[in-house]
Amino acid sequence: MRAMVVTHFGSPEVLKLQEMPQPRPGPEDLLIEVHAAGLNPVDFKIRRGAFREGRTVPFIPGYDVSGLVREMGPAVRGFKIGDAVYASPSLVRNGADAEYVCVDARTAAHKPASLDHIQSAALPLVTLTAWEALLLRAQIQNGETVLIHAGGGGVGHIAIQLAKLHGCRVLTTASRDESIKLCRRLGADVVINYAEEDFVQRVEQETGGRGCPIVFDAVGGQTFDRSLDCLAVNGPRMGWSRTLMREP
């Protein structure tokens, strides 16, 4: 099969289109014929050498996929040949930048009928990141106020929608005009242009000095440090993007 391969760690020039063996599904795997694959920051971080422990080159990147099931392992349940599915392939196996990819069936789901393959391939990794941070770690509740940084980004724009669906009041940060408009369209209650005002002071104003019980930061660095001043007393819960936690 054809695949885009990382031949060694480095700049984009290390990516080569070449022939690779078609993967064979394990007992709990789906073999997916790739119709669309997504591109995320984690792709170029791994290409440059992040998370390299235990990884050998050449390898195939690509951690978002939408496509059709072509083979299944004997232990797979809930899927059949020909199903349209989407998934986030494992970071430690060959990915979806190829004609075929194998994923653990337990990490895949049926593709929403309302979305095409390109739209579906944009969802898995960012949605899992936002879901894990807001629902599993922070455990957002109806009526809470949540600060979401970078609301116009891949993870942030999903986080806004998840928080609104769970009845939260959403404060978010953005700077570009198109990002600000997107955040408002997705339902953010307050959009803070961090290039023009101090987001800590604005959060204090919007919460009557109480702060937010939950801050979701997919930026890191100084933004994370200053976000500690946005947390409510006696109730701080923070979520963050796992793809930004360990950089080389």
CATH of the domain at 196: 3.40.50.720
Q: Which helix (H) or strand (E) holds 185?
A: helix 177-185
Domain identity same for 27 and 106: yes
Q: How many angstroms separate the CA atoms of 3 and 207, rounded?
A: 50
C-alpha 57: how far from its chain's center?
24
DSSP single-letter state for residue 199: H
pLDDT of res. 238: 53
Domain co-membership, 208 together with 109:
no
Range of the domain at 70: 2-120
Rounded average pLDDT per 10-residue block, the chain, 248 residues:
97 97 97 97 93 89 98 98 97 96 97 97 96 93 96 96 98 97 98 97 96 92 94 64 33
Strands 29-37 and 100-104 turn out to be antiparallel
Which CATH number goes with the domain that contains 62? 3.90.180.10
pLDDT for res 54: 79
pTM: 0.87
Do 135 and 224 fall within a single domain?
A: yes
- Please tell me the distance from the alpha carbon of residue 211 to that of residue 235, in angstroms, as a whole number: 10
If asked whether residues 115 and 138 sit together in one domain, one would say no
Structure token digits, residue 116: 């095409």
Residue positions counted in the chain: 248
First and final C-alpha spacing in the chain: 31
Domain count, the chain: 2
Q: Which of 126, 125, 114 is nearest to 84 (CA)?
A: 114
Of 85, 120, 155, the residue that ends a domain is 120
pLDDT score for 237: 54
